[in-house]
Amino acid sequence: MVKPVLKWAGGKRQLLDEIYSRFPADHEHYHEPFFGGGAVFFDLEPDDGTINDTNPRLINFYEVVRDHPEDLISRLRDLDEPEADPNTEQRFAEENWKGKDVEQYFYQQRARFNRRAYADEEWPANEEDRIEEAALLLYLNRTCYNGLYRENSSGGFNVPIGRYANPEWVQADRIRAASRTLADTDIRNEDFEYLLDAVGEGDLVYLDPPYQPMSATANFAEYSAEGFGQEDQKRLLETVKELDDKGVYFVLSNSGVMYEMYDDAGFHVEKEGATRSINSDETARGEVDEIIATNVPENEREETGQASIADF
């Protein structure tokens, strides 16, 4: 069992046993098109297959973890405490992109990370830049408020500094273990429909699309999530129907408001409770309704779930 390197909102640590209990006893290649923090992938440690996410910064990070783990660790060790003074030898030691005063090292590194969103030049342009961006992503992830990843309308990372006594951002052991697990994995930055060309009969796909926890009275017409709305949810349902037609196993987790869609399509659907601990709104943390849908017949499933992943 490999521990995820990043903290990530919506991670599936609490639902691992329920997810695994729907997995088939045997499968060929493993695919995860909405990767995020990769809690299921890293716990499962598949030999090959594909992972995918539409966030280019996230995909760059995992490519660097896979291909350049020691360079990444070395760069992380050079970074300073988040509340330290800015590094005068680096850009943004005095002001950020918007001309606001920079008084702490964290905000200087956040401004440097936001070159992808705000700079005129292509970023990252070379291997050194790619490693630097990956290091900054992990550093900010482990030192920002509550480990939250959030972008503004321009694509700039805008989460403030966190409150940690001794933040640990190097994560050397996790990076090395993740690199080994990713070694034979095809890492993609595409729409989830890539699956229709990438999978084969007997493969297993785990899908965890972006969604927001909904109230018990919510319905599909009220559902929306930034960047992944109703039309995307409909496309996703059509995609899993095609996977089913191809003889591909799938397990999908989603908001409870999606229950009827997958039930009406003839799939096995059950509601589960999941605890959310990463959220910018502290009142929104707690147990929420989620569904797990699958086409795996009960008589073909694993008899027992896999051990739960350790806490961050």
Regarding pTM above 0.85, the answer is yes
- Contact (CB, 8 A) for 293 and 16: no
pLDDT reported for residue 81: 98
If pLDDT is split at 50, 70 and 90, which confidence band does 312 have?
Answer: very low
If pLDDT is split at 50, 70 and 90, which confidence band does 287 have?
Answer: low
- 146/126 Cα distance (integer angstroms): 31
- Contact (CB, 8 A) for 118 and 156: yes
- Contact (CB, 8 A) for 45 and 309: no
Q: 3-state DSSP call for residue 271? A: strand
pLDDT reported for residue 288: 59
pLDDT at 4 over 60: yes
pLDDT in tens, 71-124: 999 999 999 999 999 999 999 999 999 999 999 999 999 999 999 999 988 889
Looking up tokens 């050194």 gives: 128
pLDDT in tens, 236-278: 999 999 999 999 999 999 999 999 999 999 999 999 865 545 4
Tell me the average pLDDT across 40-51: 96
DSSP string, 186-247: EEE-S-GGGHHHH--TT-EEEE--------TT--GGG---TT--HHHHHHHHHHHHHHHHTT
Query: Which H/E stretch holds residue 49?
Result: strand 49-52
Tell me the average pLDDT across 20-42: 96
Tell me the average pLDDT across 23-43: 96
Write down the number of H helices and E strands in the chain: 11, 7
Domain ranges of the chain: 13-54+190-300, 62-173
Strand arrangement, sheet containing 185-188: 185-188, 49-52, 30-32, 204-207, 249-255, 286-294, 268-276
Looking up tokens 């990463």 gives: 278
- Find which of 54-63, 112-121, 225-234, 277-286 is predicted with most confidence, using mean pLDDT: 54-63
Tell me the average pLDDT across 46-68: 96
- 65/155 Cα distance (integer angstroms): 23
If pLDDT is split at 50, 70 and 90, which confidence band does 167 have?
Answer: very high
Q: What percent of the chain has pLDDT over 70?
A: 86
Backbone angles phi, psi at 106, to 5 degrees: -55, -45
Question: CATH assignment of 62-173, given 1.10.1020.10, 1.10.390.10, 3.40.50.200, 3.90.79.10?
Answer: 1.10.1020.10
pLDDT in tens, 133-163: 999 999 999 999 999 899 998 899 999 999 9
If pLDDT is split at 50, 70 and 90, which confidence band does 308 have?
Answer: very low
Which residues face 291 on adjacent strands?
254, 271
Check residue 135 and report its DSSP letter: H
pLDDT reported for residue 228: 86
CATH number, span 13-54+190-300: 3.40.50.150
Q: Which amino acid is at 49?
A: G
Residues 6+ apart with CB under 8 A from 231: none
Backbone angles phi, psi at 69, to 5 degrees: -60, -40
A 10 A CB-CB count for 38 gives 25
For residue 185, count CB atoms less than 10 angstroms from its CB and return exposed for 0-12, middle for 13-18, buried for 19 or more.
buried
Nearest to 250 by CA among 183, 308, 300: 300
If pLDDT is split at 50, 70 and 90, which confidence band does 223 have?
Answer: low
- 2/298 Cα distance (integer angstroms): 28
User: Which pairing describes strands 249-255 and 286-294: parallel, antiparallel, or unpaired?
Assistant: antiparallel
pLDDT reported for residue 15: 83
Lowest mean pLDDT, pick from 82-86, 99-103, 165-169, 285-289: 285-289
pLDDT reported for residue 175: 98
Residues 6+ apart with CB under 8 A from 226: 210
Report residue 149 as tokens.
């990843």
pLDDT reported for residue 6: 96
User: Which pairing describes strands 30-32 and 49-52: parallel, antiparallel, or unpaired?
Assistant: parallel
